[in-house]
Chains A and B, each alone.
Chain A
Amino acid sequence: MDSSNPVHARRPRLGVFKLASCDGCQLTLLDCEDELLAVAQAVDIVHFPEASSSLMPEGPFDVVLVEGSLSTSEQLEQLHRIRKNARALVTIGACATAGGIQALRNFADHAEFARAVYARPDMLPILAKSTPVAEHVSVDFELRGCPIDKRQLIELIAAMLVGRAPVIPNESVCMECKRRGAVCVVVTKNQACLGPVTHAGCGAICPAFARGCYGCFGPRERPNTRALAQHMRAQGLTGREIARSFRLFTAYAPEFREESERHES
């Protein structure tokens, strides 16, 4: 799309919705300080409660960005309405794509969990599990991360505007780590690192900050989690420690879930 000729094509209508989450992924859009005003010109932001009090939850939308996991029955209804009103639905972040950190409760006794936090858990309309959006409606694209990466969000929007597939490769964090010139913390420091099995996109921040990747972008395609876990064990980690390392912000993603369950004791 050409900015000098905005009449030519209708501006795509964008909606931003939130389910159970920390708001960090939608905040990422507001954190695009250099691009925010340009984005607001290029697309018609018709519903974005965190940033605007002008609401239009029923759309219709060309694209919606959905943050957060499904945690309550109201959210489930809301999600179906969103899907109905949107041509393309993009999930943003680990909560929406994998259930988020709150999906840790999926591994525990839910009632006991609610009791630990709330004295009157019966007041809470909570679903037994925190689940990703794709478990309930069809999803057109997933932006991974806890939180999502600003450059990837801009790439998604820029790609949508010209009609190309966004360049968001499903490769290991190691690829970005090496391109960045960071030094491998597994090899030099024997640290536990999920980089080899984790979807790239963050730019390999953790290794560049001298610590192992903790998997917040979730599993990459064909992750050999079993081989990595074996290696962790050989390096002296206990089964529980291995289970915990696969069980963080994308714990409920199938590949990480299964690997953590293998090491539960």
Chain B
Amino acid sequence: MSRERTYKVDLLTRVEGEGRFHLVVDGEDVKEAHLSIFEAPRFFEAFMRGRSFQEAPDIVARICGICPVAYQMSAVRALENALAWVPTPEIRTLRRLLYCGEWIESHALHVFLLHAPDFLGYASAMDMARDHKALVERGLRMKKAGNSLIEVLGGRAIHPVSVRVGGFSRAPSPAELGALRPALEQGLGDALTTVKWASGLRAPELESDYVFVTLCAQDYPLEWGDQIAISGRGQFPVEAFDELFEEQQVARSNALHCRLRDGTPYLCGPMARLNHAHERLHPTALAALATSGLTLPLRNPYRSIVVRAIELVHAFAEALAIIDGYSCPQPACFDLEAASASGSGASEAPRGLLWHRYELDAGGLVETARIVPPTSQNQARIEADLVAIAPELLRLDHDAATRRCEQLIRAYDPCISCATHFLELTIDRAGADRSSAI
């Protein structure tokens, strides 16, 4: 009798977008490990062509309903770099505040509604609420605080409207932001409680030797940074992304896979950020890290729920600090002149590095657009981790093993609709000639 076992889930749940996974293990040998994405592709990079650079923040937001701000931020950074404009400190700060809102909203969603049910053994947060109402309510409260922040700055929580290349169409008044204080203060307290709670969760053992990739700047990586840090390899300009990484299309997936040029899979996201930049956390978050029991470098992906909690503390604390020192940017938006130019930009989406590059024609219309989202970067790494847990799976019954795989995948907070896009490929051009078949 063969010792081959198959673990598969045809529709990954509690993730954003549609994917499945398939793991075939023979003894301790992994025969196949696929995270495949069957989410329908939407061709953003193709229809970005011919659109005005001013439309880019609105269009790219639609790649993802959970992290639209990340897309807008990477796009405006890339386009402003292209047009050789540096945002004023006030506009930068306001963008960071907006991004804090998205981190809060996205992390709270992930920690409480998507990932926590794995640790506590429920199908959903709604089920979990029957036994752990206060816990779920705490998560919803934080999530709402993050969404409120985005709403005040951008009009609505999903696909906010105020982000422009050159600033904001409208900046909030200090009074509007001040009104958010009570919810953010409560959120900070809730986040600290969450660090404690998450630290106490039993995480399965798994240590991998990751290559971490993050944006790199003076502050904890978030909305800003012109360098990319690759652990063990150094820091590189954002513009050099293509020299560092390459994307590949694989048959089983509608998303493109991204690896280091030498083929190494890598990890971006909260765990990468914490390992690279923990000393730049807000002091309150740094203190929370100290009490969390995490030891750095952290190499257990299941523990990323604790990291998200620490980043929640950071985002709340930073948002409060920004609001306290806020003065309305004057003007809120600068008119940038169109030019034939190209530029790259990146920011740290809740789930990791998000890189954009645009080429514009003299009239400011997009000639080419390239977008590399965090989930396509993490995809190869997720598969590598699935391979790594194979021996452990053998000790579990089939259902529990399958759930363990899912839990692992969710630890990456994969954002599958983001991952299904796009791209002009640098390799494997062979298939292009046969495209007339469709």
Whether the complex brings A and B within 8 Å at their CB atoms is answered yes
Report if A117-B428 is in contact (Cβ < 8 Å); known contacts: A27-B158, A210-B169.
Answer: no
Does B41 lie within 8 Å of A51, measured CB to CB? no
Chain A positions 23-78 with a Cβ under 8 Å from a chain B Cβ: 23-28, 30-31, 33-34, 36-37, 40, 45, 48-55, 68, 71-72, 74-75
How far does the alpha carbon of A131 sit from the alpha carbon of B128 in the complex, in Å?
A: 37
Q: Is B144 an interface residue (CB 8 A)?
A: yes
Pick from B124, B156, B424: contact of A202, CB under 8 Å: B156
Check if B40 sits within 8 Å of A147, measured CB to CB: no
A interface SS class: mixed
Instruction: Determine how close the nearest CB of chain A comes to the CB of B418; give it in whole angstroms.
Output: 8
Does A22 contact B63, Cβ atoms closer than 8 Å? yes
B 127-142 contacts with A by CB, 8 A? 127, 129, 133, 136-137, 140-141
Most buried by B among A122, A244, A248: A122
Please determine whether B170 and A209 come into contact, CB atoms closer than 8 angstroms.
Answer: yes
CB atoms of A120 and B431 under 8 A apart: yes
A23 and B406 contact, CB distance less than 8 A: no
Contact A102 B126 (CB under 8 A): no
Q: Binary interface profile of B, 151-169, with partner A (CB < 8 Å = 1, else 0)?
A: 0001111110110100001
**Contacts A117-B41, A205-B156 hold; do A53 and B66 have CB atoms under 8 A apart?**
no
Q: Does B17 contact A (CB under 8 A)?
A: yes
Judged by a CB distance under 8 angstroms, whether B51 is at the interface is yes
Chain A residues, CB < 8 A from B16: 23, 27, 50
Q: Which of A18, A24, A130 contacts B159 (CB 8 A)?
A: A24
Q: Does A20 contact B (CB under 8 A)?
A: yes
CA distance A121 to B425 in the complex (A): 11
Given A119-B427, A147-B159, A248-B59, A104–B47 Cβ distance below 8 Å?
yes
Q: How far is the CA of A211 from the CA of B147 in the complex (A)?
A: 21
Bound form: Cα–Cα A182–B44 in Å: 33
Q: A118 and B123: CB pair below 8 A?
A: no
B296 at the interface (CB under 8 A from A): no
B267 at the interface (CB under 8 A from A): no
Partner of A51, one of B113, B140, B154, B254: B113
Measured between beta carbons, the chain B residues less than 8 angstroms from A30 are 109, 113
B418-435 Cβ-contact flags toward A at 8 Å (1 or 0):
000111110111111011
Q: Please determine whether B428 and A53 come into contact, CB atoms closer than 8 angstroms.
A: no
CB-nearest residue of chain B to A71: B40
Size range of the chain B interface in the assembly: 35 or more
| Inter-chain contact A105/B11, CB cutoff 8 Å | no
Q: Are A117 and B147 in contact (CB under 8 A)?
A: no
> Number of A residues contacting the other chain (C-beta, 8 Å)?
70
Given A37-B129, A53-B406, are A121 and B438 also a contact pair (CB < 8 Å)? yes
A71–B395 alpha-carbon span in the complex (Å): 41
Proximity string of chain A (104-142) to chain B, C-beta cutoff 8 Å, 1 when within and 0 when not: 110010110111111111111010001000000000000
Which residue of A has the minimal Cβ distance to B427? A119
Q: Is A175 an interface residue (CB 8 A)?
A: no
Contact B14 A101 (CB under 8 A): no
- CB neighbours (8 Å) of A26 from chain B are 65
A50 to B11, CA, bound (A): 10
Task: State the Cβ distance, A21 to closest chain B Cβ, in Å.
Answer: 7
Nearest B residue to A74, CB-CB: B38
Task: Assess the A205–B140 pair: CB atoms within 8 A.
Answer: no
Verify if B225 is at the interface (C-beta below 8 Å from A). no
Binary B-proximity of A178-219 (CB < 8 A = 1, otherwise 0): 000000000000000000000000100110111100101000
Name the B residues within 8 Å of A111 (CB-CB): 435-436, 438
Known: A27-B66, A123-B251. A36 touches B428 (CB 8 A): no
Among A27, A146, A244, residue most surrounded by chain B Cβ atoms (within 10 Å): A27
Q: How far is the CA of A121 from the CA of B114 in the complex (A)?
A: 33
Q: Is B91 an interface residue (CB 8 A)?
A: no
Contact of A50 with B14 in the complex, beta carbons under 8 Å: yes
Q: Is A246 an interface residue (CB 8 A)?
A: no
| Chain A residue at minimum C-beta to C-beta distance from B125 | A51
Residue with the greatest number of chain A CB neighbours at <10 A, chosen from B126, B251, B427? B126
Alpha-carbon distance A134/B137, docked complex (angstroms): 37
Is A82's CB within 8 Å of the partner chain B? Answer: no
Partner of B161, one of A100, A211, A244: A211
User: Which A residues lie within 8 Å of B249 (CB)?
Assistant: 118-120, 123
Contact with A along B46-74 (1 / 0, CB 8 A): 11010110010011001111101000000
Q: Is A19 an interface residue (CB 8 A)?
A: yes
B437 within 8 A of A: yes
Roughly how many angstroms separate A251 CA and B367 CA in the complex, as a whole number? 21
Cβ-defined contact, B432 with A23, below 8 A: no
B409 to A: closest C-beta gap in Å? 12
Instruction: Judge whether A205 and B155 touch: CB under 8 Å.
Output: yes
- Chain B's closest residue to A18 (CB) is B18
User: Does B117 sit at the interface, judged by CB under 8 A?
Assistant: yes
Taking each of A23, A71, A100, A206, which has the highest tally of chain B beta carbons within 10 Å of its own beta carbon? A23
Are B126 and A37 in contact (CB-based, < 8 A)? Answer: yes
B156 proximity list for chain A (CB < 8 A): 147, 149, 202, 205
**Are the CB atoms of B13 and A53 closer together than 8 Å?**
yes
Report B163 CB to chain A, min CB distance, Å: 10
Q: Is the CB of B126 within 8 A of A244?
A: no
B342 close to chain A: CB less than 8 A: no
Would you list the 6 A-B pairs with minimal beta carbon distance, nearest first? A24-B65, A120-B431, A52-B124, A119-B425, A205-B155, A54-B123
Residue contacts A-B, CB under 8 angstroms, 6 given: A22-B65, A51-B125, A51-B126, A101-B42, A118-B256, A119-B430
